[in-house]
Amino acid sequence: MRWSCWATIEMPGLLVALGKQPWNPSKLNEDAADNLSFLHCRDPNSGSAALNEVVRAFGIAVEKGWKPLRTIVFASWDGEEYGLLGSTEWVEEYLPWLSEATVAYVNVDGGARGPHFTASAAPLLNKAILEITGEVQSPNQTVKGQTVRDTWDGYISTMGSGSDFTAFQDFAGIPSIDLGFGAGPNDPVYHYHSNYDSFSWMDKFGDPGFEYHATMAKILALLTAKLADEPLVQFNATDYAVGLDKYLQSVKEKAKSSDMAALSKSTFHPLEKAIEQFQHFAKDFDASAIALSELASTQMSPPSLAQLYQGIRVANTKYKLLERQFLYAGGLDGRNWFKHVVFAPGRWTGYAGATYPGLVESIEDKNQTNVDRWVEIVEGTIKKATDLLIPG
């Protein structure tokens, strides 16, 4: 029997969630080396191994007196292959609590099957993962002392679906990140979802020595600790503004290639104006947050310290709620469970993510009325996000 399970390092206030698919101890019939080999060694058991190490390490830290500033929830989800059942039901059941308290969700599914680091994330988390990968040594030491960041091109893809971050990001509006080490075109073939995804394959081909498993655990641990234990939540709103503009350029290109005569440059003008305003206030907000963070490391009198803590609390609340502003209660057309207007899995792309899905799908359907409707919906969410960041 398999089931979802979760545990916490509990502190008052906000929380950070870290999750993965459950360990799967299925047996392969015969293995010449040891007569026993576990299936799904990469998907999801490499993620399981990394998460278990994080839990073990954090447990030791707690025993020695560490108390993170925020609650950390460790979760192992059942039923991922059957429609993300465990994580989806959990998010739906605990939605009021999660919406009120959750800062971020960190996901690991297949943690390692090669030397190439990959990340998908909400833009709020881009800065955090770029910083953390610069602190972890890469197993690939072609240059002495190089980090994972040094060997990674820094590309962070948008959130789609296919793993347990979906309910957090696309339904609840909780900024999420999905991490792993993958393979390149010259690496050994990975036998996805087959009996050959075994311990034997991983030991011989996928990650001999399991160095990338250990590196994955270090990245997960440091990222989770950064999100849970820095006084100021380590988000960046400006990256979100940059992303919104980039995604809109992609929509414009799609509109140009369509044969919708009614679409014009002015169609997207309200979004351009809303994004420009959001970017202005996002830069100011991030600058103010950085100033608060720097002040937190200085010696201050009790009255000034109380004022500083109040400022940090306000900034953290706004960072926490920013992603939620991009939810639309009516959901996407034809699949209204998906509430996020910026990110969703593509309608026909499987796991791959789509940006501004309501707009893109309306263009694909050649529905000018719906294009105008989604321009208004998206504009409204961007204005809500802007209003959240305005001081006062």
Residues marked as catalytic: 80, 266, 340
Distance CA 376, CA 392 (A): 26
Q: How far is the C-alpha of 104 from the C-alpha of 122, rounded, in Å?
A: 10
Return the amino acid letter for 241.
Answer: A
Neighbours of 256 (CB within 10 A): 10
- Alpha carbons 328 and 337: distance in angstroms, whole number: 10
Neighbours of 279 (CB within 10 A): 18
Coil, strand, or helix at residue 327? strand
Q: Are strands 71-76 and 15-20 parallel, antiparallel or unpaired?
A: parallel
Q: How far apart are the first and last CA of the chain?
A: 53
| Chain position carrying tokens 């009198």 | 301
- Angstrom distance (rounded) from CA 382 to CA 359: 14
C-alpha distances out from residue 41 to 29, 119, 168, Å: 15, 20, 25
Do residues 382 and 274 touch, judged by C-beta distance below 8 A?
yes
Q: Which one, of 193, 125, 110, lies nearest residue 159 by Cα? A: 125
Residue pair 112/207 in contact (Cβ under 8 Å)? The answer is yes
The widest CA-to-CA distance across the chain, in whole angstroms, is 70
Residue 310 neighbours by CB under 8 Å, 6+ apart: none
